Amino acid sequence: MKSINKITIIVSVLLLIGFSSCTSWTEIKPEGLLLEDEAVKSGQDVVRIVNSTYDALANRLNGTAQIYNDLLGDELADFNITGDRREMYTRGVIPFNSSSNDNYKGIYRCIFRANTCLDYIQKFNDLTPTEKNTLEGEIRFIRALSHFEIAKLYAHPLGTSPLVNANAAQSGIPLRTKVTIDPVLRSSIAETYSNITEDLIAAITLLPVSHPLNKTKKVYADKDAARALLAKVYFQSNQYQKAIDVLNTLLNNTTYQLSDSLNHFDNASFSGEYLFQFVSTGTGDNRAAGYTGNYRTDNVAVPNLQISKLAYQYMIQDTTDKRIGLIKVINKGKPEEVYGSTKFNYDFFDVPYLLLTDMYLMRAEALAITNQNLATAAADVNKIINRSYTDATSKLLSGSELPEVIKSRVRNERRREFLLEGDRIQTFKRIGANGEIQTPNTIRNAAFNCNGLIFAYPQTEVTIGFSQNPTQTCN
334 Cβ contact partners less than 8 Å away, ≥ 6 residues apart: none
Q: Residue 201 falls within a domain, yes or no?
A: yes
Q: Using pLDDT thresholds of 50, 70 and 90, give the confidence band for residue 170.
A: low
Q: Please tell me the least confidently modeled range out of 26-40, 198-212, 345-359.
A: 26-40
Could you tell me the pTM of the whole model? 0.92
- The mean per-residue pLDDT over the stretch 376-399 comes to 97
Q: Residue 44 falls within a domain, yes or no?
A: yes
Q: Using pLDDT thresholds of 50, 70 and 90, give the confidence band for residue 31.
A: very low
Q: Residue 317 falls within a domain, yes or no?
A: no
- The mean per-residue pLDDT over the stretch 465-470 comes to 91
Q: Residue 229 falls within a domain, yes or no?
A: no
Q: Please, are residues 449 and 432 in contact by the beta-carbon 8 Å criterion?
A: yes
How would you classify the pairing of strands 327-330 and 351-355? unpaired
- Residues 110 and 107: their CA atoms lie apart, in Å, by 5
Q: Residue 35 falls within a domain, yes or no?
A: yes
Q: Please, are residues 374 and 367 in contact by the beta-carbon 8 Å criterion?
A: yes
Model confidence pLDDT, tens digit, residues 174-210: 999 999 888 899 999 999 999 999 999 999 999 999 9
Number of domains in the chain: 1
Q: Please, are residues 130 and 138 in contact by the beta-carbon 8 Å criterion?
A: no
Dihedral-angle region of residue 91 (phi above 0 means left; psi in -120 to 50 means alpha; beta otherwise): left
- Residues 360 and 445: their CA atoms lie apart, in Å, by 31
State which residues form the domain around 118. Answer: 1-207+455-461
Q: Residue 449 falls within a domain, yes or no?
A: no
Q: Residue 192 falls within a domain, yes or no?
A: yes
Task: Specify the CATH number for the domain of residue 161.
Answer: 1.25.40.390
Q: Residue 139 falls within a domain, yes or no?
A: yes
Instruction: Report the Cα–Cα distance between both ends of the chain, in Å, rounded.
Output: 55
How would you classify the pairing of strands 351-355 and 274-278? antiparallel
